[in-house]
Every structure is written in structure tokens, then in C-alpha cells.
Amino acid sequence: MPNNIIIVDYGMGNLHSVKKKLLRLNVNPIISSNPNEIESADKIILPGVGHFQKAMENLQKLNLIDALNEIVLIKQKPILGICLGMQLMANKSEEGNANGLGWIDAEVVKFIVKDTLKYKIPHTGWNQIIKTKDSLLMKNISDLSEFYFVHSYHFLVNNNEDILNETEYEYKFISAIEKNNIFGVQYHPEKSHDDGERLLKNFIEL
């Protein structure tokens, strides 16, 4: 099992709840914004809560974009994006009309619901995932398992093969993606009890 797991710190939150969950799995990750440390990682976790444009600006200011491209695209080490961290993997987002990392041929769009009494935005709370393909990330996680969500924007992909999970919230949206060594979940495994812990364990053991 690789012992060098980096949680990327780019000033966009929920780092310590992710670290706490990994410590429960007997893994001691490093929280870092150092490009050299990130490039030398065995695995990367890219968490995040907040505004897409601000997140990309922070990555740019910290000189992390080249380091992330090196570790993910060149060295092809596994990466797990969580919530905003997943969204940053797309080409662009409506949130701030900003370009993303471009690892997944996708864009991030705002939820548009008709029944605003029943379906509040942000989408907050527990919801089921629909598994759309086999994946080591989903090992021992049942179809229709519940995970915890907090978000106002969601993924649209141009290649359906990249879809790992879908979730229903007035309409179906993409709640997880997988492409080669790139994994992203819209929900928060660090807040999703046993199934969330299992997902993180699966990522560690990839």
C-alpha cells in the first residue's frame, strides 16, 4: 500500500475532516500546498468547498496547476476529487464562468429545478447513488447507497463512459466520475459514515 498520500491545500476547506477519516483507516496523509511534495505523492486527494473561480485562482497563485498536471497526467497517479475538487477536473464552470483543469471533457452547470419547494438549492443532505459501471472505487458499496451532498452545481460530461455514479434530484445528475487514474465524487465520503469510509479505503488500496 502506498504510504505517501497528499491532501491538497489550496484554501478551499474540508481538509481536516478528510484527514480525520483517513487517520481512522490507519493512514497518515500529509496536507500540503507544496508543488514538489505534491509531485512526489503516491496518491492525491483534492477536496474543496466553495466557489469554482476562486478555487482555480488559488491553484494558480500557489503554482499548483503544473504540479497537479504532472502527477495526474504524466505520472498517472490516482487522484480523488471531492465536491468542488471533482468539479475542478472539468473544462469549465458556469460558476464564475471560469476554466477548470480540463482533465475530464465536461462542464459544470447550475442546478435548474422546477419544483423549488420540494427541491431546494443547494442540494443538501443524504441521497442515493446509482452505480453506472464496475469500479474498484465502488468495491463493497451497494447500489442505491446513501451519501451526503452539499452543492449548487453539477457535472455534465461529453463522454458517458466517464460516468461512475448518478443521483436523482428532480432529474438525474452525475454524482461521480472515473477516467483512468482520475476519480471524482460530488458527495462527501468524509461525512458519509460507513460507505464513505469504505470508499476512501478503496481509494487508498487502488
What confidence tens digit (pLDDT) does each residue in 142-153 have? Answer: 999 999 999 999
Active-site pick, 39, 95, 178, 190:
190
Q: Residue 119 in contact with residue 168, Cβ under 8 Å? A: no
Mean pLDDT within 29-50: 96
Query: Of 157, 163, 160, 193, whose CA–CA distance to 176 is shortest?
Result: 163
CATH number for position 53: 3.40.50.880
Banded model confidence at residue 168, pLDDT cuts 50, 70, 90: very high
Burial of 130 (0-12, 13-18, 19+ CB in 10 A): middle
E-strand spans in 134-170?
146-151, 153-157, 163-169
Residue 1 has pLDDT above 90, yes or no: no
Query: Which is the catalytic residue, given 39, 83, 95, 151?
Result: 83
- Write the CA distances from 100 to 56, 134, 155, integer angstroms: 7, 27, 12
Q: Give rounded-to-5 percent helix, strand, coil for the chain.
A: 30, 30, 40
Strands (E), 50-162: 79-82, 92-93, 98-99, 106-110, 123-128, 130-131, 146-151, 153-157
Question: Residue 14: its pLDDT value, please?
Answer: 80
Residue with cell 468547498: 49
pLDDT at residue 139 is higher than 90 = yes
pLDDT tens digits, 173-185: 999 999 999 999 9
Tens digit of pLDDT for each residue in 48-91?
999 999 999 999 999 999 999 999 999 999 999 999 999 999 99
Q: How confident is the model at residue 93 (pLDDT cuts 50, 70, 90)?
A: very high
Whole-number pLDDT of residue 27: 93
Query: What is the tally of structural domains in the chain?
Result: 1
Q: What is residue 13's predicted lDDT score, i.e. its pLDDT? A: 79
Q: How confident is the model at residue 2 (pLDDT cuts 50, 70, 90)?
A: low
Q: Does residue 161 carry a catalytic annotation?
A: no
Residue 3 has pLDDT above 80, yes or no: no
Q: CA 76, CA 198: separation in Å to the nearest integer?
A: 23
Q: How many CB atoms lie within 10 A of CB 167?
A: 21
| Mean pLDDT across 154-171 | 98
d(CA 16, CA 46): 12
Q: What is the mean pLDDT of the chain?
A: 96
In the residue annotation, 188 being an active-site residue is answered as yes
Q: Of the residues 37, 107, 188, 197, which is catalytic?
A: 188
Residues 6 or more apart whose CB falls under 8 angstroms from that of 126 comprise 146, 147, 148, 149
Q: Which residue range(s) make up the domain with 171? A: 5-204
Rounded CA-CA distance 121/152 in Å is: 6
- 146/187 Cα distance (integer angstroms): 10
Residue 128 has a pLDDT of: 98
Active-site annotation holds for 123:
no
